[in-house]
Structure 1
Amino acid sequence: MKVTVVGSGISGKSLALLSKKLGYEVFVTEREEIDPDTRDLYRKKGILWEEKGHTNKMLDCDSVVLSSGISPKSLPVEMAKNAGVPIQGELDFVFPYLIGKIIGVTGTNGKSTTSALIAHLLSELGYKTALAGNFGFPLADFAKQDLDFIAAEISSFQLHWANRFSCHIAVVTNICPDHLDWHGSFNAYVESKKRIIDLLSSDGYCVYQNKDRELLGTNGCRGAVLRWAPDCSKGKCEEQDEIILHDSEAYLRTGSRDIKLFSYSILPLYGRHNVENAAMAMAAVYYLGCDAERTSHLLSDFKNLPHRCEKVGEKRGITFIDDSKGTNVASSITAITSIPGTKVIILGGKGKGEQYDELAKAVKAHARGAVLLGAEKGAISEALERIGFRNYLLVSSMEEAVYCAFNMACPGDIVLLSPACTSWDMYKNYHERGEDFKRIVKTIVEADSVKNG
């Protein structure tokens, strides 16, 4: 059997290696130049490739397999459709070779942290657990491995192509507009996200937020719905279990029983949104048969993922927080509103086709000032002007942004990098952007005196 893999990024390379391991003839087609190390690996494994564009060579196969992020409007997809060559997404191709129960985590924001929390809890309980997703470890890396559980962060791009992939637990952290440039509309984005529930195994459970119930169409689905509540007064849950977030504790209400999941004081994470992430992770683990009381203390040992509301330094009473993973408006609004304290916020980058009016309202309500950079700084500044917020600066580099933010801040304030945009106009990815922010903060923290922006 001949397989063509579209894309030679992290997931594409993993798919190509798995295909070869399965005994297929493999051809990789890549729009950009393939790096020398990957070319050497392909030569060693007997994998053929083309780069800097797609030709009809890619059609000499029995199946085209799409790596993560390949758009339905892309040239290789159009070529395969026109030639009548079957197309498979990453999830469907890998699924038959995965051993162990799959906990699939999707959503607009929080899916990386929630996946990592689930994997941490299960690993600490002694189970053989893999963590797959936006961590540098694609699902294909874990094919044919003898595992108890796989906690998998799953994107809307991957779910768009899914038809036979199935999870035992489906977690949808939240739904807000995102990737509208890829999907074309919010409705199309939601339809992709919903597939994780539509494809749930017959004995599976779903965990999601009450505010997203109508969007997801979860009627009849076993599992738990999350809501914030001022109290945890007793009351039988008639339809689905409920995750109830009280002022200081999270509970799972199942039938007439309230099971304490954890106290917020043990969480080593910033923000109200991370309470939601932890509660959903605990509910998922509960549905896998784990005792909540035995599990909850393990939350205190969790190490936060880089670039996700991560404290990276302090100087003169001013705290620096790196939320470079805040690549959409909803994520940055969550960071701005859920982290206590007055902020100076660094915003901007390459946009995703979103509007910034709601972001501007959050800035006005919670920030002393804003520093704007990147391709979207003009659009964000216009949104701030429309609501009468004028304490902002336009800058041309991250270094200038951090120094300006530091000089705008007062003791007790937070300098928060949460750009509400992708990094692709200035950096390769959000990780590189976050590391640059950290480097500059380290210079400020270690300096005897700090220059003016």
Structure 2
Amino acid sequence: MSKKILVVGMARSGLAAVKYLSNKGYGVVVNDSKPEADLGQVLDELKSYENLEYILGKNPGKEILKDVDMAVVSPGVPLELDFLLELRSMGKEVISEVELAYREAQSKNIKFLGITGTNGKTTTTSIAGEICKEAGLETYVVGNIGNPAISAVEVANPGAVLVIELSSFQLEAVYDFRPQVSTVLNLTEDHMNRHHTMENYAKAKANIFAKQTPDMVCVLNYDDQITRDMGKDCQARPVYFSRQARPKGGIYLDDKQNIIAVKDGQEIEIVNAADLSLPGGHNLENCMAAIGLCLHFGIDKNVIKKVLTSFKAVEHRLEYVNTVNGVVYVNDSKGTNPDSTIKAVQSYKTPIILIAGGYDKGSDFTELFDIAVDYVRTALVIGQTADLIADTASKAGIKEIYKLDSLKEAVIKASQIADEADVVLLSPACASWGMYKNYEERGREFKDIVNNML
């Protein structure tokens, strides 16, 4: 008798899990808290799939919970929901789509390179993915970057590589997941409305290496005290990267700013930091992490250097949009927490008009504006956090602050007050929820508004 599986949440990963499981012949219970009327596109995509049962606009009842064998949850679904707790009390597994993908990948001997951290995940994942492709490997760049891992597993050939970006939400419900090489880039306060404490947040992130073995490698940021300390509890061999020190057996800068990586006791010169295609200290760290991942995955240093000197910026991450009347517009919609926006404002030497605000994740913006006051001349704030950000920016000493009702109004206001050579930077320091479906939609709208001003 085939299993019946409950799939909770019909965002990208949940929808992909339903399709995969249905194709494999499982009975699937499709669940989302949204009512049927709000799920038109999802339901259209599932019309041709068999063995589906729908529970929409409500949580599954006890009869369904008794009937299913396990649940696969989307990242946005809190694991503390009553019905998920009840499932666990029945001895039934509640796993993420990433865990499902990992388990299904084992029969094909698919390899995983895992990337997590608070900031830099998407850039590092994209760089590592390009390096693997350049090395001639069948490569899929998946996970929190927008492509469900389970969809790649379904089409990948044996021996393929999945380079996977992992959020804390995705890592909360992994159990067997074991990447060949992993990295934790950094950890700063984020998603406190979900995790409540930094300890809980760090614990979720640490799941990336929890099942690795001593013959595997975990690449950790030596300059971040939290990630450095993670090496003490890491079952895999920790390899540290640093901009500021020279960790033994790690990745670091020599006196000429060459990036040196130590492997098998040998110092290997990879590339000079000045030759990296991506600017900024944060991108230097991202490149060091990608070097650690790929070098310890067995990829030649010349392949790594070729990609690091030619790689183009990721969409929505410090993405140049256009210059209008001498004013540069930059899309950093991927900046969804204060630390990410700190790194963004520190990337420019000319005055910044910052557009910030969005969904309130319980973040503290004090450190952001204590630093941003040296870079930002004007703050334009929008969304749920507008009042909090405006108050914090004012206390930090930013004199020009405007509260606007929409992103369009903020861009128009920026165009009116900007001087030639200013940078108008969308780096919200907040999630997009409540105003947009995701940060990509927010970034695309910003670009459309800017380009329509020409």
Please say whether Structure 1 and Structure 2 have the same fold, judged by a TM-score greater than 0.5. Answer: yes
- Pairing 1:38–2:42 present: yes
User: How far apart, CA to CA, are the structure 2 residues paired with 1:190 and 1:156?
Assistant: 8
- Is the CA contact 2:220–2:231 (under 8 Å) kept in the aligned structure 1? no
Secondary structure at the residue paired with 2:355? strand
Cα distance, 1:84 vs. partner?
A: 4.7
1:213-252 → structure 2 map (5 Å cutoff):
213-215=225-227, 216-219=229-232, 221-229=236-244, 238=248, 240-244=249-253, 248-252=257-261
Cα distance, 1:277 vs. partner?
A: 1.0
- Can you give the 5+ residue segments of structure 1 that lack an aligned partner in the other structure? 447-453
Aligned partner of 2:397 among 388, 408, 411: 388
User: How far apart, CA to CA, are the structure 2 residues paired with 1:264 and 1:406?
Assistant: 35
Secondary structure at the residue paired with 2:452? helix
- Can you give the 5+ residue segments of structure 2 that lack an aligned partner in the other structure? none
Aligned partner of 2:151 among 131, 138, 141: 141
Aligned partner of 1:174 among 186, 191, 203: 186
- Pairing 1:345–2:360 present: no
Aligned in 2, Cα 1:243/1:224: closer, same or farther, shift over 3 Å? farther
Q: Which amino acid aligns with 1:22?
A: K
| TM-score, normalised via structure 2 length | 0.90
Secondary structure at the residue paired with 1:428? coil
1:33-182 → structure 2 map (5 Å cutoff):
33=35, 35-46=39-50, 47-56=52-61, 58-59=64-65, 60-98=67-105, 99-144=109-154, 145-146=156-157, 147-182=159-194
Cα distance, 1:265 vs. partner?
A: 4.0
Secondary structure at the residue paired with 2:131? helix
Secondary structure at the residue paired with 1:218? helix
**In the alignment, which residue of structure 2 is the partner of 1:11?**
13
- Is the CA contact 1:351–1:375 (under 8 Å) kept in the aligned structure 2? yes
**In the alignment, which residue of structure 2 is the partner of 1:438?**
447
- Pairing 1:304–2:313 present: yes
Aligned in 2, Cα 1:406/1:253: closer, same or farther, shift over 3 Å? farther
Aligned in 2, Cα 1:124/1:383: closer, same or farther, shift over 3 Å? same
Cα distance, 1:16 vs. partner?
A: 1.4
User: How far apart, CA to CA, are the structure 2 residues paired with 1:101 and 1:355?
Assistant: 38
Aligned in 2, Cα 1:193/1:415: closer, same or farther, shift over 3 Å? same
Q: Which amino acid aligns with 1:38?
A: V
User: How far apart, CA to CA, are the structure 1 residues paired with 2:239 and 2:351?
Assistant: 34
Secondary structure at the residue paired with 1:338? coil
**In the alignment, which residue of structure 1 is the partner of 2:278?**
269
- Is the CA contact 2:251–2:259 (under 8 Å) kept in the aligned structure 1? no
Aligned partner of 2:422 among 409, 413, 432: 413
User: How far apart, CA to CA, are the structure 1 residues paired with 2:18 and 2:147?
Assistant: 14
Aligned in 2, Cα 1:261/1:137: closer, same or farther, shift over 3 Å? same
- Is the CA contact 1:271–1:340 (under 8 Å) kept in the aligned structure 2? no
Secondary structure at the residue paired with 1:419? coil
Aligned in 2, Cα 1:271/1:76: closer, same or farther, shift over 3 Å? farther
User: How far apart, CA to CA, are the structure 1 residues paired with 2:444 and 2:161?
Assistant: 31
- Is the CA contact 2:335–2:341 (under 8 Å) kept in the aligned structure 1? yes
- Is the CA contact 1:168–1:200 (under 8 Å) kept in the aligned structure 2? yes
Aligned partner of 2:31 among 22, 29, 32: 29
Aligned in 2, Cα 1:340/1:290: closer, same or farther, shift over 3 Å? farther
Q: Which amino acid aligns with 2:211?
A: L
Q: Structure 1, residues 414-450: CA drift from partner, whole Å, max 9, x if none?
A: 1110010111232221111111111111122x1xxxx
Say what the alpha-carbon RMSD is for the aligned residues: 2.2
Secondary structure at the residue paired with 2:194? helix
Which moves more between the two structures, 131-140 or 150-159? 131-140
Cα distance, 1:70 vs. partner?
A: 1.9
Q: Which amino acid aligns with 1:284?
A: L
Secondary structure at the residue paired with 2:320? strand
Cα distance, 1:223 vs. partner?
A: 4.1
Cα distance, 1:361 vs. partner?
A: 1.0
User: How far apart, CA to CA, are the structure 1 residues paired with 2:254 and 2:101?
Assistant: 36
Q: Which amino acid aligns with 1:94?
A: A
Secondary structure at the residue paired with 1:143? helix
Secondary structure at the residue paired with 1:198? coil
Q: Structure 1, residues 153-175: CA drift from partner, whole Å, max 9, x if none?
A: 01111111111111111111111
Aligned partner of 2:327 among 318, 322, 325: 318
User: How far apart, CA to CA, are the structure 2 residues paired with 1:101 and 1:246?
Assistant: 36
- Is the CA contact 1:325–1:431 (under 8 Å) kept in the aligned structure 2? yes
Q: Which amino acid aligns with 2:43?
A: R
Aligned in 2, Cα 1:150/1:22: closer, same or farther, shift over 3 Å? same
Aligned in 2, Cα 1:245/1:72: closer, same or farther, shift over 3 Å? farther
Q: Structure 1, residues 32-80: CA drift from partner, whole Å, max 9, x if none?
A: 1353343244342112212111132541211122222321222431342
User: How far apart, CA to CA, are the structure 2 residues paired with 1:138 and 1:223?
Assistant: 28
User: How far apart, CA to CA, are the structure 2 residues paired with 1:414 and 1:28?
Assistant: 46
- Is the CA contact 2:223–2:244 (under 8 Å) kept in the aligned structure 1? no
Cα distance, 1:135 vs. partner?
A: 3.5
Secondary structure at the residue paired with 2:242? strand
User: How far apart, CA to CA, are the structure 1 residues paired with 2:40 and 2:255?
Assistant: 53
Secondary structure at the residue paired with 1:331? helix
- Is the CA contact 1:180–1:352 (under 8 Å) kept in the aligned structure 2? yes
